[in-house]
Amino acid sequence: MDFIDRFGNAAVSHPAVAEAAVIGIAHPKWQERPLLVIVLKPGKTASKEELLDCLQAQVAKWWLPDDIAFVDALPHTATGKLQKMKLREQFRDFKFQS
């Protein structure tokens, strides 16, 4: 299991998170940084800060994402596997907030 899988598992440990994925996004200073993509459970809320606080206890500081994107659903194949290539395509023009 690589750090991306551990990162996603850590995010899903938050009680408001239904599903999570981590993808690498181009970054002007660091070449690439993680973007955490979150689907919240119905009726639940969570802020970026709250999720980052939850993650800090579970992953190394330099693994923390520079940003979190909230979406309604993640793309899956017919067998349920996450389609990270579709996520990368969806967020290809994403710019990290400075």
In a domain, 98, yes or no: no
| Higher pLDDT pick, 61 / 4 | 61
Q: pLDDT of 7-34, one tens digit each?
A: 667 888 899 999 999 998 888 888 888 8
pTM of the model as a whole: 0.86
In a domain, 74, yes or no: yes
Is residue 1 predicted with pLDDT exceeding 50?
no
- Owning domain of residue 80: 3-90
In a domain, 95, yes or no: no
From its phi and psi, is residue 25 left (phi > 0), alpha (psi between -120 and 50) or beta?
A: beta
Provide the domain count of the chain: 1
In a domain, 96, yes or no: no
With bands split at pLDDT 50, 70 and 90, how would you rate the model's confidence at 58? confident
| Higher pLDDT pick, 5 / 42 | 42
Encode 4-73 in three state secondary structure.
HHHHHHHHHCCCCEEEEEEEEEEECCCEEEEEEEEEECCCCCCCHHHHHHHHHCCCCHHHCCCEEEECCC
CATH number at residue 15: 3.30.300.30
